[in-house]
Amino acid sequence: MLKNWNRPEKPGDEEIEVRLKAAKAKLGAQQMLIKEHKLPVVALFEGWGAAGKGSVLGKVILNIDPRFFKVFPMDIPTEEEKRKPFLYRYFVKIPEAGKFCFLESGWMDEITRECLYGGWKEKEYKKRIDSVKRFERQLTDNGYLVMKFFFHISQKEQQKRLHGLQEDENTSWRVSDADLWQNQHYDKCLKVYSQYLDDTNVSTSPWYIVDAKSKKWAQLQVLETLVSGIDTALKNRSIAVPLLQNVFPMEKMPKLSEISLDKALTQEEYKKELGVLQDRLRELHNELYRKKIPVVIAYEGWDAAGKGGNIKRITGALDPRGYEVHPIASPEPHEKARHYLWRFWNRLPKTGHVAIFDRTWYGRVMVERLEGFCSENDWQRAYNEINEFEKELSDWGAVILKFWVQIDKDVQLKRFTDRQNTPEKQWKITEEDWRNREKWDYYEVAINEMMKKTSTAYAPWHVLESNDKKYARIKALRIVIEEIEKALSRA
Amino acid sequence: MLKNWNRPEKPGDEEIEVRLKAAKAKLGAQQMLIKEHKLPVVALFEGWGAAGKGSVLGKVILNIDPRFFKVFPMDIPTEEEKRKPFLYRYFVKIPEAGKFCFLESGWMDEITRECLYGGWKEKEYKKRIDSVKRFERQLTDNGYLVMKFFFHISQKEQQKRLHGLQEDENTSWRVSDADLWQNQHYDKCLKVYSQYLDDTNVSTSPWYIVDAKSKKWAQLQVLETLVSGIDTALKNRSIAVPLLQNVFPMEKMPKLSEISLDKALTQEEYKKELGVLQDRLRELHNELYRKKIPVVIAYEGWDAAGKGGNIKRITGALDPRGYEVHPIASPEPHEKARHYLWRFWNRLPKTGHVAIFDRTWYGRVMVERLEGFCSENDWQRAYNEINEFEKELSDWGAVILKFWVQIDKDVQLKRFTDRQNTPEKQWKITEEDWRNREKWDYYEVAINEMMKKTSTAYAPWHVLESNDKKYARIKALRIVIEEIEKALSRA
């Protein structure tokens, strides 16, 4: 895109002033519409060093009330961020509905930097491009407006600016070795940037090349583009988004009704196996930590199926400094105001750590679907979005374990009644549990569809037959151990 | 405390089992009371390397539902954390009301480490002890239960355990150089630890020395202590806390009624000064960044006093990558469930950055006081708590600027009416603003008290006379520049 770029014609100074004034007023008015229509806006400011991204950004935000935006200066990833998936530090920064976030720079900078000095090969680059395209598409599909600006200046102009900055003691620290390197290897960088822009230029989140030679003119281009992007996005609110074909390898899953639930263990068998398996898992946890492999364990299942007790048998074998259990309830307001996967991205483990989710992102295709908390288009899109999310985790090197804890309706009734009649257990049973029980058949349809559509080869579902809780616990431990062993043998 | 410690007598194995069972059951029952009475519990696990803190912690949490606790393994501070005040990484981890948090290790470990290898002198140590004592007292005063455990083993026992860990490939990474150093310099460490324990052993959050030679026995000591601590804390709920005398140097402030509001600038004077001052501030921002000095600017003032416009004249001169404006509205549920200063600790800038607060922590002694959102004891304690908070910022090296934006009642009415009659401004005026206006006189009393009690020498209030907004903006810029210049000349 940069190589055969047609520089837009710069208007006269007077015209720029008039149009700037109009664009600023428009943006000022739009912020209220954005709030009202709950439109979240993500704007990336990418481009050459010293192209003036920061100073234009500084002007743009003066038109927006501080309640409605955040600016994130993105440096190179911290040690902590390096222990999370690539997209982590971007995903956790997405704004709430009705607000702006500005990133300077964004993921383009990180990826092209790796290409230029990180010694990346074609394969790593392609993987990142896939991640980024999915990420941006998930944002726009979920109602985000994504605006991507690339600030362009010539080699000569950049050189002039870098020298100017270097000459002043108070600005010389702004000129990094990377900036100087970039200027010296301008053509090489141009090639990489141009390639990246081509590879990620899609109609739902296209690139805008900003002629950054004059600051005011650059500011005008950004403002007018932003304002017109917002106009379009506001018109597109609540339009359904086409569903995508599945592109991931799948495993075949049985229907819930085909699963036999008469498996059981005696107390003796259970005690013996439990001790052996927990000892083994304890050893493996050390090895995982040492080899820095992350583990994500997801529990879903009927109310009173025994998720909590099952999880306890896993955590009983783990070092508390290396795992966390995340009980997932309905989202808090600041979580609800973002992409539904945001709160799960926020809770990902570091490499070498274990995160256990008691209920998960699958709420989207179960409770949110059945209670109408999201639109049909939303939950139908979610199967693919979730497969993509888990693909990120898998590519990152995570062991992913997804358990469906299965019981039959009679067993649930027995356990509900027992909870109701035992004072210490009463807090565990609510009116909602009884209401959900009435929707058992609807849930069963949703669960069968979920297991069919999200049992990817890299993250298949495992059913834990839990009419006998002891059996389910031992089975879970076995699967956890087996999958960790496989991952360790590959590491 | 360690030097003349009387090892508690270890009971027989059978008795340990019986008491363990009782303590576990008790803790299991207490978690519901804790939730009901909204008691937050902070537990620190400190002690010698290889003393078994992690393994005891792992057992303790098995008795608590994962919804009610979080474990934080505290490593050495990250680069990001090093750019915040010392207490930052601890303060942001305090639990919500009704929940536990377990730190392993806590702030003792960080401080004693600095004493042992950081080359700290008496002065730095004393400063930290002051910080820690204030921090723990603020937590307990605000209804937190703080339980501090020190896991104690002998030099010989530690040596044996470290060797054991080293021999196994999967656990050898657990033995750090620091652990080995500790064992080799056991007596030196003992002295430092003992001193720290003595210095921070207060009746509201005393130390418990855990005899950690036997794991089960250690577990029992922790569980029984925890359970009895919770019992006591539950009995103490909603008891008022004694107010403390002021210990900070204060500056004398005028009463609001004594402030003359007839100061004004012509449009010409304003334009000219604004340009000059913003250019100067722009330069200073670079220098602040280079010298890594953080700046905290706090705005309070009457509704429609012109805070927003005033802030914009400051940010207009700043690089957007180096500042953030934090508009403070009423707290979200997860903020309300914690110490009222928590959300401000969370929003502190990094060194070299500027954080501007549009309304602040002073809400505690204004709106929360007047609307009864906290108890009288709470807001009366807050003056000192806030002075302590700002002392932490000041000791960290921050430039602290607190502005009270002052107008008179007539000007407010004029501006309210203007907002109401201008379509683009209507969103800025709400029913609440009119209600607050009716309480003007009550607010004036609260504001006078606040300015009198929180104008410390290190963070005094500045009044901005804003009947003429231009005058107030220029005055704010002048003060900001002056205070930054002072700080830079000291740096």
CB < 8 Å to A58, chain B: 315-316, 318-320
Number of independent structural domains in chain B: 2
Q: What is the mean pLDDT of residues B185-189?
A: 96
pLDDT tens track for A236-268? 887 889 899 999 999 999 999 999 999 999 999
Q: Which candidate from A62, A70, A332 shows the least CB-CB separation from B334?
A: A332
Interface residue A62 vs chain B (CB under 8 A): yes
pLDDT tens track for B422-481? 888 888 899 999 999 999 999 999 999 999 999 999 999 999 999 999 999 999 999 999
Task: Say which residues have a Cβ less than 8 Å from residue B73's Cβ, sequence separation at least 6.
Answer: A320, A321, A322, B104
Question: H or E stretch including B210?
Answer: strand B207-211
pLDDT at B117: 87
Q: What is the mean pLDDT of residues B13-27?
A: 97
Two structure tokens written together for B485: 């210049």
Give the ranges where A251-354 is alpha helix by DSSP (H): 267-291, 307-315, 333-336, 342-345
CB < 8 Å to B319, chain A: 54-55, 58
Q: Which candidate from B28, B290, B427 shows the least CB-CB separation from A32?
A: B427
Q: Tell whether A198 and A268 lie within a shared domain.
A: no
pLDDT at B171: 84
Q: What percent of chain A has pLDDT over 90?
A: 91
Which pLDDT band, with edges at 50, 70 and 90, does A121 fall under?
Answer: confident
Q: Tell whether A65 and A119 lie within a shared domain.
A: yes
Interface residue B80 vs chain A (CB under 8 A): yes
User: Taking the model in full, what pTM does it have?
Assistant: 0.93
Q: Which candidate from A61, A320, A324 shows the least CB-CB separation from B54?
A: A320
CATH of the domain at B386: 3.40.50.300
Q: Which of A36, A60, A299, A321 to probe the B interface (max B CBs under 10 A)?
A: A321
In chain A, whose CA is at the least distance from the CA of B70? A324
Q: Tell whether B183 and B282 lie within a shared domain.
A: no
Pair A219, A151: CB distance under 8 Å: no
Phi, psi values for residue A319, rounded to 5°: -75, 125
Spatial CA neighbour of B44 closest among B215, B183, B284, B209? B209
Which pLDDT band, with edges at 50, 70 and 90, does A312 fall under?
Answer: very high
User: How far is the C-alpha of A283 from the C-alpha of A286, rounded, in Å?
Assistant: 5
Contact B286 A171 (CB under 8 A): yes
On whether residue B423 sits in a domain, the answer given is yes
Contact A173 B290 (CB under 8 A): yes
Q: Tell whether A279 and A142 lie within a shared domain.
A: no
pLDDT at B166: 94
Q: What percent of chain B has pLDDT over 70?
A: 100
Q: Tell whether A205 and A302 lie within a shared domain.
A: no
User: How far is the C-alpha of A458 from the C-alpha of B36, rounded, in Å?
Assistant: 43
pLDDT tens track for B354-373? 999 999 999 999 999 999 99
Which of B208, B236, B264 is a domain's end point?
A: B236
On whether residue A404 sits in a domain, the answer given is yes
Question: H or E stretch including B119?
Answer: none
On whether residue A245 sits in a domain, the answer given is no
User: How far is the C-alpha of B65 from the C-alpha of B32, rounded, in Å?
Assistant: 10
Q: Give the distance from residue A76's alpha carbon to the nearest chain B alpha carbon, in angstroms.
A: 12
CB < 8 Å to A70, chain B: 324
On whether residue A399 sits in a domain, the answer given is yes
pLDDT tens track for B386-402? 999 999 999 999 999 99
Q: Tell whether B319 and B455 lie within a shared domain.
A: yes
Q: Which of residues 275-304 of B touch A (CB under 8 A)?
A: 283, 286-287, 289-290
Contact A332 B327 (CB under 8 A): no
Interface residue B321 vs chain A (CB under 8 A): yes
Q: What is the CA radius of gyration of chain B?
A: 26
Contact A78 B73 (CB under 8 A): no
Q: Tell whether B232 and B276 lie within a shared domain.
A: no
Contact B327 A67 (CB under 8 A): yes
Q: Which candidate from B58, B311, B332 shows the least CB-CB separation from A320?
A: B58
Please give the order of strands across the beta sheet that includes A399-406.
A323-327, A354-358, A295-301, A399-406, A461-465
Contact A322 B80 (CB under 8 A): no
How many C-beta atoms lie closer than 10 Å to residue A82's C-beta?
A: 13
Q: Tell whether A363 and A431 lie within a shared domain.
A: yes
On whether residue B250 sits in a domain, the answer given is no
pLDDT tens track for A389-417? 999 999 999 999 999 999 999 999 999 99
Q: Which of residues 335-364 of A touch B (CB under 8 A)?
A: 358
Q: Tell whether A214 and A285 lie within a shared domain.
A: no
Q: What is the mean pLDDT of residues A286-292?
A: 94
Interface A-B, measured as beta-carbon pairs within 8 A, has a size of: 110
Interface residue A315 vs chain B (CB under 8 A): yes
pLDDT tens track for B192-230? 999 999 999 999 999 999 999 999 999 999 999 999 999
Q: Tell whether A451 and A304 lie within a shared domain.
A: yes
Contact A325 B66 (CB under 8 A): yes
Contact B66 A327 (CB under 8 A): yes
On whether residue B4 sits in a domain, the answer given is no
Contact B358 A66 (CB under 8 A): yes
Task: Say which residues have a Cβ less than 8 Å from residue A422's Cβ, sequence separation at least 6.
Answer: none
A52: left (phi over 0), alpha (psi -120 to 50) or beta: left
Q: What is the mean pLDDT of residues B311-320?
A: 96
Contact B321 A286 (CB under 8 A): no
Q: What is the mean pLDDT of residues A360-381?
A: 97
Interface residue B319 vs chain A (CB under 8 A): yes
Q: Tell whether A289 and A419 lie within a shared domain.
A: yes
Q: Tell whether A197 and A340 lie within a shared domain.
A: no
Q: Which of residues 414-443 of B touch A (CB under 8 A)?
A: 424, 427
pLDDT tens track for B68-106? 999 999 988 999 999 999 999 999 999 999 999 999 999
On whether residue B248 sits in a domain, the answer given is no
Does ipTM come in above 0.90?
A: no
Q: Give the distance from residue B287's alpha carbon to the nearest chain A alpha carbon, in angstroms.
A: 6
Is residue B238 over pLDDT 80? no
Contact A358 B320 (CB under 8 A): no
Which of B173, B201, B236 is a domain's end point?
A: B236
User: How far is the C-alpha of B111 from the C-alpha of A255, rounded, in Å?
Assistant: 57
Give the bridge partners for B355, in sequence order.
B296, B324
Assign A43 to helix, strand or coil.
strand
On whether residue B242 sits in a domain, the answer given is no
Which of A186, A202, A236 is a domain's end point?
A: A236
CA angle B382, B387, B390 (to 5 degrees): 120
Interface residue B66 vs chain A (CB under 8 A): yes
Domain coverage including residue A475: 257-490
- Kindly state the DSSP code that residue B406 receives in the 8-state scheme: E
